[in-house]
Structure 1
Amino acid sequence: MSFTVHRRFTAPIAVLAVAGLALSACSTGGTDSGSGEADGVVTVYGTISDTEAELLEQSWADFEEESGIDIQYEASKEFEAQIGVRAQGGNAPDIAIFPQPGLLADLASRDYIKPAPEGVAKNVAEYWSEDWAGYGTVDGTLYGAPLMASVKGFIWYSPAKFAEWGVEVPTTWDELLTLTQTIQEKTGAAPWCAGFGSDAATGWPGTDWVEDLVLRQSGPEVYDQWVSHEIPFTDDAIASAFDSVGDILLNPEYVNAGFGDVKSINTTPFGEPARALGEGTCALHHQASFYDGFIQDPANGNATVGPDADIWAFITPGETAGAPAVTGGGEIVAAFSDDADTVKVQEFLSSPEWANARVSLGGVISANKGLDPANASSPILQEAIKILQDPNTTFRFDASDLMPGVVGAGSFWTGMVDWINGKPTADVLATIDASWPAE
């Protein structure tokens, strides 16, 4: 996910500490607002909060002045639970920013969300890949347009240390394992650091590892079947991905650099490895594009990020070289109203103009093809944009965000914790699969 604060991420204090933001609690329009009549106010509801909310409002300030539309944004930590309640009660916002496509699909399938207007559909067709468009599409109808994005599966490292050890960035998974062994032999220390700790969400970084390996080893078709439960968690393809991740994370010679043994992964907060990377006690760490904010946080040592800086990153390689495939996250914008002002706001948020305006403010990226990568605030975000815009890249949304909440934000997370603690893979997979809701 971009460096937005969603249910999984707590951003570093130095990055997000700001004065309280006055957010509008009112909500107009919604499921009753289909008349096409505009009143000059468009309400937007989402999970984006704190500094990110301030920057979001800055990104549309010029549009508000030019259009005369007052966009009133409301953030909520209870978005996932409340958006359905509000829709059913006739008190939905005009527009919602969905961090989980599955939630959008659920409300669209129950006719709460309006199909995307023509201008939005044109923008999506021109500026977004088919993969991204698919996450806003339900039963062949486009309901929402993508907004921001993140690229997962980066592996963070020190270019200077690589040069010192005489090693290069790997291009295949086998080369990554060889690199890991080489660093361990040269240094006599565990190369990898990992942290799954995230309060009630502990375990989610492990799901990102598994998702990367499912996509890279078995391909997008199997990945999609897994997400929709056409194949179960107990399938050989998923077990194989766990085994491959275990070649690193369950090997006491390879983890947990600077923190302890294998089991310490569960008790290490996911942001802590940023400090170990900067201090040089950790050689390799797997985490998304947003992690540069943690690495450069003064509280973690203020290391620099870039190809020739203290820390840089490469994408987790696949089974073969030159076959780019990445997982990531983002948001989908959809509307409960179709009045003229709401349509104008939707069109703007799906445009390159908005993407460039927001990315220029820093901290986030977008997969919009009209976005200039030079507008990104850091080299890693520029690199992530290039990956997303590459027509050869296979992109898949974070699998756990697409699965039913009881699985993706429940048993999958806790299953990763159990696995790190020593529970056999087959038992972990059976337990997760048993939690899948009956149809």
Structure 2
Amino acid sequence: MRRRSAPAAWTALAAAGALLLAGCGGGGAGKSDPPGGPSAAPRVQLPRLDGEKLEVSAVWTGPEQANFTKVLEEFEKRTGASVAFVPAQDPIVTFLGTKIAGGQPPDVALLPQVGALTAAVQNKWVQPVGPEAKAQLDKNYSQGWKELGAVGGTQYGVYYKAANKSLVWYNAKAFEAAGVQPPKTWKELIAAADTLSASGTPAVSVAGADGWTLTDWFENVYLSQAGPEKYDKLAKHEIKWTDDSVRQALTTLAELFGRKDFLAGGPSGALATEFPKSVTQTFTGGDRPAAAMVFEGDFVAVNIAQTEAKIGEDALVFPFPAVGAKAPVVSGGDVAVALKPSKGAQALLTFLASPDAAEIQARQGGFVSPNKAVDPAAYPNAIQRRIAEALIAAGDDFRFDMSDQAPAAFGGTPGAGEWKALQDFLANPSDVAGTQARLEADAAKAYGN
């Protein structure tokens, strides 16, 4: 299953986002609370794997990779196995295909797209989840997250990491200096951007060098403006990218992207900015940073931690503004799969499906788990705790990242498909019709219709 349809959960998550704004939007609210300590005893039993060597691959680097390594170290401690992290490149399907063709696949991989999971199953690369991991899934996960890790009714994956990709993080000092309040609507966002830029601080840091961030911009605007039903249809390519709803969304996005003074470094600077820098440059420089705000998911916290800014004080967050009647909430995530029929691979899936593993990474920040057994106290501050609680409150139903549902050739490949078309759009936001035509041509080819 490639998505879940959920107006009720959409509303619940949006309401929780409003709580984020109310509880963590200014003043002393949202300051860090003492992080939860480790559990008194392991809640999942793992086999001894003394002498066994495992490899794990994911498209993670920097702090994210370092934080996940702490999880692997605990697995080593409990089992006696030796685990090596092997960084993967996008698209991960191509990376894994090369490894498999060479007879050296990793034991476990974390796939960042639903489309990548489907492709891996179709290529017969992955093993079904074993009974121990399945028991953890049944105990700790909602039906919706289990179904996202299944293909054709068979459970193949464990959604270890989730994301709320409808958040805007902002520099509190820059907002205060400009006299700007967090906007609740798109119209208010554009007005705030105008005020910020006039004050001498560009409004937004856009990671245009990483095309996936641009797909997230589009998806949030489209979901709020066109609504959930059209979002689902476009995700399945049941309507074309030349549809008028896509034109409207691109035209709206151009209100922001089309103002050079709104973007840190202008369009050319944005296109040269990778995601980590888009965050760090927003939270350095006191009240005169390179930009006043940066859009992306809860994982932004990992990169904020590389600066001197404190989440809840210097770095605050508000929900992505409503373009239509409701504010959007887009979710994403990484699914762990076993590529070898080994005892060690299944044991690692079991561990990743347990709250024990998720709580280790939760304490590091910039991580949200869909595992409902995770202790909320494991999250290091009130902002991240509320984000996690909102995700769990959504239950079985939610809207999943559209590009992650698409075939990787369209929605998950650097320099191609949707990523490239939206980078070209960032360079020339006036070319709405041309962007639609390129998107539709690439989508038709990738979907085969």
Specify the TM-score bucket, using the shorter chain as the normaliser.
Answer: 0.7 to 0.9
Higher deviation after alignment, 145-154 or 397-406: 397-406
Q: Find out whether 1:292 has 2:301 as its counterpart.
A: yes
Q: Is 2:417 aligned against 1:411?
A: yes
Q: Tell me the TM-score normalised to structure 2 length.
A: 0.74
* 2:156 is aligned with 1:148: no
Q: CA deviation at 1:312?
A: 0.6
Partner of 1:357: helix, strand, or coil? helix
Cα-Cα RMSD: 3.3
Q: How many residues align?
A: 388
Aligned pair partner of 1:113 in 93, 103, 126: 126
SS across alignment from 2:369: coil
Matched, 1:266 2:275: no
TM-superposed deviation, 1:434: 0.9
Distance 1:127 1:317, change over 3 A: farther
CA contact (8 A) 2:54 2:107 kept: yes
1:403, distance to aligned residue in structure 2 (A) = 2.5
Structure with bigger RCO (C-alpha 8 Å, 6+ apart)? 2
Aligned to 2:186: 173
Give me the whole-angstrom Cα distance separating, in 1, the residues matched to 2:282 and 2:123. Answer: 48
Partner amino acid, structure 2, of 1:342: A
Deviation string, structure 1 residues 62-81 (Cα, Å, up to 9, x no partner): 44343344444433447532
5+ long unaligned stretches in structure 1: 1-37
**Aligned residues with identical type, % of pairs:** 27
Structure 2 match to 1:382:
385
- Tell me what 2:52 maps to: 41
Question: What's the CA shift for 1:40?
Answer: 5.8
Distance in 1 separating the partners of 2:88 and 2:193: 42
Cα offsets for 1:30-75 (capped at 9, x unmatched): xxxxxxxx88626233123555445434324344343344444433
Q: Is there any run of 5+ residues in structure 2 with no aligned partner, and where?
A: 1-48
Aligned to 2:22: none
Q: 1-side partners of 2:147 and 2:282: how far apart?
A: 38
Correspondence for 1:313 among 304, 310, 317: 317
SS at match of 1:43: strand
Query: CA–CA distance in 1 between the matches of 2:87 and 2:256?
Result: 38
Q: Partner of 2:281: helix, strand, or coil?
A: helix
Report how far residue 255 of structure 1 moved: 1.1
3-state SS of the aligned residue for 1:326? Answer: coil
**Aligned-residue offset at 1:171:** 3.4
Distance in structure 2 (CA, Å) of the matches to 1:317 and 1:372:
30
Question: What amino acid is aligned across from residue 432 of structure 1 in structure 2?
Answer: L
**What is the SS of the residue equivalent to 2:124?**
coil
Is contact 1:239-1:426 (8 Å) kept? yes
SS at match of 2:336: strand
Counterpart secondary structure, 2:213:
helix
Query: Where do 1:394-433 residues align within 5 Å?
Result: 395-408=398-411, 409=413, 410-422=416-428, 423-433=430-440
Distance 1:175 1:129, change over 3 A: farther
Alpha carbons of 1:100 and 1:274: their partners in 2 closer, same or farther (altered >3 Å)?
Answer: same
CA distance in 2, matches of 1:259, 1:63: 44
Pairs within 5 Å for 1:16-55 = 41=52, 43-47=54-58, 48-49=60-61, 52-55=64-67
Tell me if structure 2 keeps the 8 A contact 1:154–1:316. Answer: yes
Q: Residues of 2 paired with 1:351 and 1:140: CA distance?
A: 22
How far apart, CA to CA, are the structure 2 residues paired with 1:381 and 1:227? 28
Q: Which sits farther off after the overlay, 344-353 or 150-159?
A: 150-159
Q: Which residue of 2 aligns with 1:19?
A: none
d(CA) in 2 for partners of 1:204, 1:81:
17
Distance 2:323 2:395 in 1: 16
Alignment-mate amino acid for residue 301 of structure 2: D
Q: TM-score, normalised by structure 1?
A: 0.75
Given that residues 109 and 138 in structure 1 are in contact (C-alpha distance below 8 angstroms), is that contact kept between their aligned partners in structure 2? no
SS at match of 1:303: coil
Q: 1:356–1:75: structure 2 CA closer, same or farther, 3 Å change rule?
A: same
Q: Pairwise mapping of residues 66-215 of structure 1 onto structure 2 (< 5 A)?
A: 66-77=78-89, 79-87=92-100, 91-159=104-172, 162=175, 168-180=181-193, 183=195, 187=198, 192-198=203-209, 201=210, 203-215=211-223
The amino acid across from 2:96 in the alignment is I
CA change 1:119–1:384 in 2 (3 A) is: same
Residue pair 1:40, 1:341 contacting (<8 A) in 2 also: no
1:1-26 per-residue CA deviation (whole Å, 9 max, x = no partner) reads xxxxxxxxxxxxxxxxxxxxxxxxxx
Counterpart for residue 434 of structure 1: 441
| SS at structure 2 position matched to 1:367 | coil
Cα 1:272–1:119 change in 2 (3 A) is closer
Change in Cα spacing, 1:234 to 1:197, as seen in structure 2 (3 Å) is: same
- Determine the structure 2 residue equivalent to 1:352: 355
Q: Could you report, residue by residue, the CA deviation over 1:153-201 in whole angstroms, capped at 9, with x for unpaired residues?
A: 32122445656766543334344345445x369x555762233343xx4
- In structure 1, what is the equivalent of residue 292 of structure 2? 283
Distance of aligned partners of 1:361 and 1:417 in 2 relative to their CA distance in 1, 3 Å threshold: closer
Q: Aligned residue for 2:10? A: none
Amino acid corresponding to residue 354 of structure 1 in structure 2: A
How far residue 296 of structure 1 moved from its aligned partner, in angstroms, is 4.7
Contact 2:133 2:347 in 1 (8 A): no
Separation in 2, partners of 1:263, 1:316: 24
Relative to structure 1, the CA distance from residue 295 to residue 347 in structure 2 (aligned partners, 3 Å threshold; closer, same or farther) is closer
Conservation of the 8 A alpha-carbon contact between 1:324 and 1:392:
no
Give 1:89 shift: 5.9
Structure 1 residue 326 corresponds to structure 2 residue 329: yes
Query: Would the alpha carbon gap of residues 190 and 235 (structure 1) be closer, same or farther in structure 2, given more than 3 Å must change?
Result: farther
Counterpart in 1 of 2:244? 236
Shift of 1:293: 4.1
